[in-house]
Amino acid sequence: MTPRITLITTGGTIASQQNADGSSTPSLDGQALLARLGDLPPVRLRVADLMAQDSSTLTLADMQAISDAAGAELAGGAAGVMILHGTDAMEETALLLSLQHPGAPVVLTGAQFTDDHPQADGPANMAAAIRAVLDGGGVRLAFGGRLLPAWGLVKHATDSADAFRLAAEAVAPDVTLRAPVDRVRVDLVAIHPGADATHLDASLAAGAQGIVLAALGSGNASAAIRDGVARAHAAGVPVVISSRVPMGRLAASYGGGGGGHDLVRAGAVLSRVLRPGQARVLLAALIAAGQVDRAGELFG
């Protein structure tokens, strides 16, 4: 029997065309995008138009809705799922899908250039994603000629069709975290040299259930941030250290008052591979599941 794949659309550049004012917004549905494809392997394609958003606007609740939709399609007999998604938050949704549907034939793709751009890359990415779904192999990203796993995924370029890499080669942990993350608040706090703890403390005051630091270098900050981490830890709010540097494994080796070594001693957990966006999703999933005590194991 010819396999059935469900195409879930969520918007993004792949579904966008330029408006008269020069802006681009998602305006094409799944059927219009399928019409761009040429010859494909034997497959039946079902379209599920879920939303039409720029992925920069996606909340954790939106990402949960995408994951729920993929799960419903798989439970309903689909041989696999292809998700069309914006690139700004693709790595986050990919990680949530891999945590909630490990091993499932789900492939995300999108585009760097709009549908009406002379270098439109959406059709080629879609064709590659369909082939990847048919091959099986778990939650992955098909983009720019690459097929990448979800764990450690990072967008490394804003102007190239080959836009994604892995932050570091790593084996994803064997974990399933199915609890919905739609009601969890995890904040990202960007660190600059000499930063004080104003934004970290503001997140605590606003009710954040977890905080991810987009720290410097291998996971470093300042003495003021170290003290803020200690306050969060005392309040029972988990803090994860990631880095604004896109590539490489992190190591909590620096002291000096606010280095990664000091932040860990103050109660933070070092994310050795996942960059801030994915670290936020994993932390939210752990909080939702009541398994924050596994943070050291899973982020390590």
Strand partners, 109: 84
Closest CA to 244 of 273, 275, 270: 275
Q: Which two tokens stand for residue 37?
A: 């494809």
- pLDDT value of residue 39: 84
Length of the chain: 300
Q: Quick check: is 13 catalytic? A: yes
Of 13, 87, 93, 109, catalytic: 13
pLDDT of 155 reads: 98
pTM equals: 0.97
Q: What is residue 248's predicted lDDT score, i.e. its pLDDT?
A: 97
pLDDT at 1: 83
Q: For residue 269, what are its two tokens?
A: 């957990």
Bridge partners (DSSP) of residue 147 are: 142
Integer Cα distance of 100 and 74 in angstroms: 12
Segments of the chain scoring below 70 in pLDDT: none
